Chain A
Amino acid sequence: MSPGRWAGRGNAAALLLVAALVWLAVYPLLFVGSEALRADIADFAAQRSEWSALWASLWISAASVALAAAVGVPLAFVFERYDFPGRRLLGSLVALPAVMPPLVGVIAFLFLYGESGFVARTVRAVLGGEASPWRLQGPAAILLVHGYSMYVYFYLFTRAGLAKLDASMLEAAASLGAGGWASVRRVTLPLLKPALVGAALLTFMTALASFSAPYVFGGGFRVMTTQIVATKLNGDLPMAMLETSALTVVALAGFALIRRTEGSRLVVSVGKGTPPALRVIADPVARRLAALAGWLLAVVLLLPHATLILVSLVPAGTWTTEAIPPRLSLTNYGALFSEAERLRPLLNSLWMAVVATLAALALAVAAGHLVVRRRVALRPAIEALLMLPWAVPGTVLAIALATLFSARSPWTLRWVLVGTLAILPVAYLIRSLPLTGRALLAGYRQLDPALEEAAQTLGAGRWKRMRRVTLPLLKPALAAGGALAFVTALGDFVTSILLYTYETRPISIEILSSLRLGDVGVAAACGGGRVLVSAVALGVGARAGR
């Protein structure tokens, strides 16, 4: 084979990285799978509740896809094809639900559309009556939240697909006699298929793993993720592992499907082409109507955020039956920052997210170097391992980590991490790997290898090259991947609820317990604070990315 220590050292490093990734991302799952075999599978199969939870997970996910598509695709067409006042600003506002961490979004919905939320209060104030006009519970409530937060996938994918579409193809279709609708059906939609399939699978996987919405709104209605947590809390560990394995199998099947369709994403785009020109709505009345509809939409989309801020400003016990809170102040924020015990969860979340993000970035840089630059033989394995945690629902990962790291047995690579400071950062790290991994692999691929070679011929050693050439040039990828990883870790609820200890309780757990204690304002202040930190992190990431 090729002589030289170079190839040899690269392969040794690759082996080490693969081993670390297998240990983090695969081993816990396999361990849970083997433990699950001890459970009574016949018992599992005989339980009606198990089958109904699995079925509920599947149909809720499918319905979420349909709902998200019904909202996201038409929106994308409107914003990508028509011009009207405020189009640019609205176009970016529409993507806003993506910034809402899962639990915070759910709570904002509760404040807004819940039995004692703004909308219910307003309706009661207008129509009179004592009882709430509706209950925000069950599958309909879950779907509402899913639709609100997940249409963004369809919206962004479709817009990107439409922007890449070549105007000359539509012109060709028109010259061949295809009218407006025919060209949409026979040209536009087939060309958009990869984008739509991608968005559908992404939505399906996200809905399948969704925990906050079913947890808060589910009531007696159980999906697999909430079923697992309930079983675990009941102490039936083997059964919880069996359920975890069942959900994993479904999720991995979806993941495999996605990886297969990704290969066929290279569709058409022959020649460079320019996207079709925006159609300006000429009729002044229609223009006004379009703008009005657009702004109404923006208000609806922004309402949950606004609600969160408003509720966080309501001092405890001052708001009872009025439609609008009578008094607003910053007391809740004061409480958050003046009481050490209340500030603690925020600080916990911050340091754990920072540590996890830095570790995930370091692993991603190593992976990018080995996969793209060294082109090691193990590169398909590294790429697949980096993406795998994305397919694993947070509940599954948490159960797996809780099982694996609950005993000390160095020979089987098990240590006691449960109940220590380390377990949550490790969980966050694993969940961040796909985000940092994807960003840095893409970053490395855009990096001209000649730049590093040029540094070599100028006498720069390994560290100088890393410090002065590679890392500065990777800054956009580091910023983008790091910001996403940080925001995800900060917003995590699913794994936290199964793995936290009182000392390391993160902010989402504090939000939940404040809510249970009736400290609605403090919960909202926590949520608001977190949305703010997330938005700043993403903004910094986007700015550095330029």
Chain B
Amino acid sequence: MSGEGRDVTAEAARGYLRIERLSKSYAGRRAVDALSLDVPRGEILALLGPSGSGKTTTLRLLAGFEPPDAGRVLVEGEDVTALAPAARRFGMVFQHYALFPHLDVGENVAFGLAVKGAAAARRVADVLAMVDLAGFERRRVSELSGGQQQRVALARSLAPEPRVLLLDEPLSNLDPALRERTRRELRDAIRRVGITTVFVTHEQEEAFDLGDRVAVIDAGRLEQVGTPDELYDRPASAFVATFVGRANDLPGRLLGGPEGSRAIVRPEAMRFAGVENGGLEGVVTARRFVGGHAYFTVRGAGGEDFEVFAPHRAVGVGERVRVAVERVLYWVEGGAG
């Protein structure tokens, strides 16, 4: 998926946007901790992490709203760390859009343009057409729906032709029914422009659907960056293994691992086996139906709970079962577990 059909030049390989060991502390707490990332030209990168993980701080450091304690931000090889936000030529779409309420749609979109008059009007019309809002110039911001406001915010940030586009939780303000469609429109618009994009989200589905690559961040540190498939199939850390997708955290000795280790296993990598086949013993305590399949909660002999993904009629609640593990996703070695 990544780089698919994309021309990998030397510059892109180095990273059109480079983040080098960026750090920021607030009152002694490390919000961003030596974070490094390379984003090739035209890539859409998702910053995914739980709330408080430092992803929004990272975005604000990129935009230049706050100075980092250490580290650098480079675009096309130019160090922009010391530049004020106004001089960076980064576009940004804010979580609540931050449209200027005293200006109409056209004036909002024209705000960042260097040109005036007819040239500005043409550019505004072009950008509005690009986000499917042609002819909305004289509308008041307060008259727009949430989705329309989001697209105006996108148009406004793209109008001055920024080098990098930053989006802060771009879909969190929309109601769930609207999100999927808006996400698709947003992706199409960004793709048409071909702009290098970094966006922040705490929703996996959003990160996987919108991002070419996803950077998983926890406690200010970069845990792993890769395509959604890479993150799911080959997690680089226990955090990524448990944070991305569903996973069981089992004592390692049950699966033949050393004492004190832990094994992280996907529910779909487990199956109910015949009694004679060995594996984990347990009792089915609950079933969560999700269509043709279901998640079965099994209480193991040692009191540990785990989930098995299987056809929905595979076993019944209360049944004694044996569960075979097909693949351990990630081994956590040693320690007190």
Q: Does B179 contact A (CB under 8 A)?
A: no
Which of the residues A6, A460, A475 comes within 8 Å of B67, measured between beta carbons? A6
A453 contacts B96, C-beta separation under 8 Å:
no
B69 contacts A458, C-beta separation under 8 Å:
no
B85 contacts A451, C-beta separation under 8 Å:
no
Chain A min CB distance to B91 (Å): 6
Q: Indicate whether A456 sits within 8 Å of B86 (C-beta atoms), given known contacts A2-B69, A4-B67, A468-B111.
A: yes
Contact with A along B76-97 (1 / 0, CB 8 A): 0000000011111111101110
**Which A414-461 residues sit within 8 Å CB-CB of chain B?**
448, 450-451, 453-461
Q: Does A334 contact B (CB under 8 A)?
A: no
Q: Does B100 contact A (CB under 8 A)?
A: yes
Residue of B nearest to A472 (CB): B102
Most central of B90, B99, B100 by chain A CB within 10 Å? B100
Q: Does A187 contact B (CB under 8 A)?
A: no
B101 contacts A473, C-beta separation under 8 Å:
yes
Q: Does A271 contact B (CB under 8 A)?
A: no
B98 contacts A461, C-beta separation under 8 Å:
no
Task: Give how many B residues have a beta carbon under 8 Å from the other chain's beta carbons.
Answer: 30
B101 contacts A457, C-beta separation under 8 Å:
no
Contact with A along B121-133 (1 / 0, CB 8 A): 0000000000000
Chain B facing A: main interface SS: loop
Chain A min CB distance to B196 (Å): 15
A459 contacts B112, C-beta separation under 8 Å:
yes
Chain B min CB distance to A458 (Å): 3
A453 contacts B69, C-beta separation under 8 Å:
no
Q: Does A469 contact B (CB under 8 A)?
A: yes
Contacts of A468 in B (CB 8 A): 111
Most central of B85, B91, B156 by chain A CB within 10 Å? B85
Q: Does A220 contact B (CB under 8 A)?
A: no
B98 contacts A453, C-beta separation under 8 Å:
yes
**Which A456-505 residues sit within 8 Å CB-CB of chain B?**
456-461, 468-469, 472-473, 475
Which of the residues A457, A472, A473 comes within 8 Å of B157, measured between beta carbons? A457
Q: Indicate whether A460 sits within 8 Å of B98 (C-beta atoms), given known contacts A3-B69, A453-B65.
A: no
CA distance in complex: A93, B240 (Å): 67
Contacts of B54 in A (CB 8 A): none
Residue of B nearest to A461 (CB): B86
Contacts of B190 in A (CB 8 A): none
Contact with B along A1-35 (1 / 0, CB 8 A): 01110100000000000000000000000000000
Chain A min CB distance to B1 (Å): 29
Which of the residues B67, B84, B96, B156 comes within 8 Å of A456, measured between beta carbons? B84
Q: Does B220 contact A (CB under 8 A)?
A: no
CA distance in complex: A6, B91 (Å): 22
Q: Indicate whether A459 sits within 8 Å of B160 (C-beta atoms), given known contacts A453-B63, A468-B111.
A: yes
Q: Indicate whether A459 sits within 8 Å of B89 (C-beta atoms), given known contacts A2-B67, A469-B100, A473-B102.
A: yes
B102 contacts A3, C-beta separation under 8 Å:
no
Which of the residues B67, B100, B112, B160 comes within 8 Å of A451, measured between beta carbons? B100
Chain A min CB distance to B207 (Å): 22
Chain B min CB distance to A149 (Å): 37
**Which A116-143 residues sit within 8 Å CB-CB of chain B?**
none
Which of the residues B67, B84, B98, B102 comes within 8 Å of A454, measured between beta carbons? B98
Chain A min CB distance to B294 (Å): 40
Residue of B nearest to A453 (CB): B65
CA distance in complex: A472, B108 (Å): 14
Chain A facing B: main interface SS: helix
Chain B min CB distance to A63 (Å): 48
Chain A min CB distance to B3 (Å): 28
Chain A min CB distance to B57 (Å): 13
Chain A min CB distance to B174 (Å): 17
Please count the residue pairs between chain A and chain B whose beta carbons lie under 8 angstroms apart in the complex: 69
CA distance in complex: A459, B114 (Å): 9
CA distance in complex: A472, B100 (Å): 10
Contacts of B102 in A (CB 8 A): 472-473, 475
B111 contacts A451, C-beta separation under 8 Å:
no
A455 contacts B92, C-beta separation under 8 Å:
no
Residue of A nearest to B114 (CB): A459
B94 contacts A453, C-beta separation under 8 Å:
yes
A3 contacts B67, C-beta separation under 8 Å:
yes
Contacts of B87 in A (CB 8 A): 459
Chain A min CB distance to B149 (Å): 13
Chain B min CB distance to A479 (Å): 14
CA distance in complex: A451, B157 (Å): 13
A456 contacts B85, C-beta separation under 8 Å:
yes
Contacts of A448 in B (CB 8 A): 96, 98
Contact with B along A292-329 (1 / 0, CB 8 A): 00000000000000000000000000000000000000
CA distance in complex: A4, B67 (Å): 7
Contact with A along B31-66 (1 / 0, CB 8 A): 000000000000000000000000000000001110
Q: Indicate whether A456 sits within 8 Å of B65 (C-beta atoms), given known contacts A468-B111, A469-B100, A473-B101.
A: yes
CA distance in complex: A456, B95 (Å): 16
CA distance in complex: A6, B112 (Å): 23
B98 contacts A450, C-beta separation under 8 Å:
yes
Contacts of B156 in A (CB 8 A): 454, 458
Contacts of B99 in A (CB 8 A): 454
Which of the residues A2, A3, A450, A453 comes within 8 Å of B85, measured between beta carbons? A453
CA distance in complex: A461, B112 (Å): 11
Most central of A456, A459, A468, A469 by chain B CB within 10 Å? A459
Chain B min CB distance to A6 (Å): 7
Residue of B nearest to A468 (CB): B111
Contacts of A456 in B (CB 8 A): 63-65, 84-86
> Please, could you name 26 A-B residue pairs with CB atoms under 8 Å apart, sorted by A?
A4-B67, A6-B67, A448-B96, A448-B98, A450-B95, A450-B96, A453-B63, A453-B65, A453-B85, A453-B92, A453-B94, A454-B94, A454-B99, A454-B100, A456-B63, A456-B65, A456-B84, A457-B166, A458-B91, A458-B156, A459-B114, A459-B160, A460-B86, A469-B100, A472-B102, A473-B101
| Residues of B in contact with A (beta carbons under 8 Å apart) | 63-65, 67, 69, 84-92, 94-96, 98-102, 111-112, 114, 156-157, 160, 162, 166
The 8 closest A-B pairs by CB, nearest first: A458-B112, A450-B98, A456-B85, A4-B67, A454-B98, A457-B92, A450-B94, A472-B102
Additional pairs, 14, CB under 8 Å, beyond known A3-B67, A454-B92, A458-B111 = A3-B69, A448-B98, A450-B95, A450-B98, A453-B85, A454-B94, A454-B100, A456-B84, A456-B86, A457-B112, A457-B157, A460-B112, A469-B100, A473-B102
